[in-house]
Amino acid sequence: MKLQYNPSVRMLRLPCTGRVDVLHVLKAFELGADGVMVVACKKGECAFETGNLAAERRIMFVKKLLNQLGLGSDRVNIYFLSSGEADKFVAAVKDMVEKVKKLGPSPLKK
């Protein structure tokens, strides 16, 4: 389909978003990421049943953590979509980039 989206996104392929740990997200920030987005299957349609829900729980926790640290909770977000919805992914990237741009570069960046 050759849809276009912002090149600042780096993909990390996981078997399931249930694999995402709080530590992974924090590590990304430690290493200099400005934002972290998790792209999961739609709710109720996880190929491994509840992986995406577990990811959502952890992302909510990280959001709280980032808020307390003063980094801004919008630096991490989770999006739910299915493979037929490539347009939704493009919209998600746009949304994420806008949110992070509003917050500016991560202060953890050396």
Partner 1 sequence: MTKVAAFVCSCGEEISKNVDVDAVVEHIKKMPSVIAVKHDSLCLPSGKEVIQETLAREDAERVVIAGCSPKLNEILFKRVLKDSKLNPYLLEMANIREQCAWVHPDKKNATDKAKALVSAAIEKAMKLEPIESASFTVNNSVLIIGAGVAGIQAAVDLADQGFKVYLVDRNPTIGGNTNRLYMAFPTDDCIFCVASSKILPGIRKCLYRSSLTLHPNIEVLTYSEIKKLEGSVGNFRATIEKKPKFVDERLCIACGRCSEVCPIEVPNEFNFGMNKRKAIYIPFSNAMPFTYIIDEKNCKFEACGKCRNICPTRAINFDQTTTELELKTGAVIVAIGFEEYVPDKISEYGFGIYKNVVTQSYLARMLDPTGPTHGKTVRLSDGEEAKRILMIQCVGSRDKKTNWYCSGICCMFALKHAILMKEKNPDTDIIISYMDIRTPGDYESYYNKARELGVTFLRGRPAEIAEDPQTKQVIAKIEDTVSGGTAEYPVDLVVLSSALVPSKGTEDLAKILKIEVNGETGFVKQLYPKLKTVDTRIKGIYVCGAATGPKDIPQSVTEGSAAASRTASILTQGTSRDLAIAVVDENACIGCEICEKVCPHLAIRMIAKDEKKIAQVSALECNGCGVCSANCLIGAIQLKHSGLEQLFSYLSGLLTEVKKNGLRPIIICFACDECGYAAIDVAGINKLQYPANAFVVRVPCLGRISALEIFKALEGGADGVLLVGCMPDRCHYVRGNQWSQVHLEITKAILRAIGLNENKVNMCTLLSAEPTKFVDAINEMIKNLSSS
Binding site for partner 1 (CB under 8 A): 1-2, 15, 41-42, 44-45, 47-48, 82-88
Helix axes 22-30, 51-69, angle to 10 degrees: 40
Compute the least distance from the CB of residue 91 to partner 1, in Å: 10
Compute the least distance from the CB of residue 82 to partner 1, in Å: 4
Q: Would you say 29 and 106 are in contact if contact means Cβ atoms under 8 Å apart?
A: yes
Compare residues 30 and 49 and give the one whose CB is closer to partner 1.
49
Compare residues 71 and 93 and give the one whose CB is closer to partner 1.
93
Q: Distance between CA 52 and CA 95 in Å, rounded? A: 20
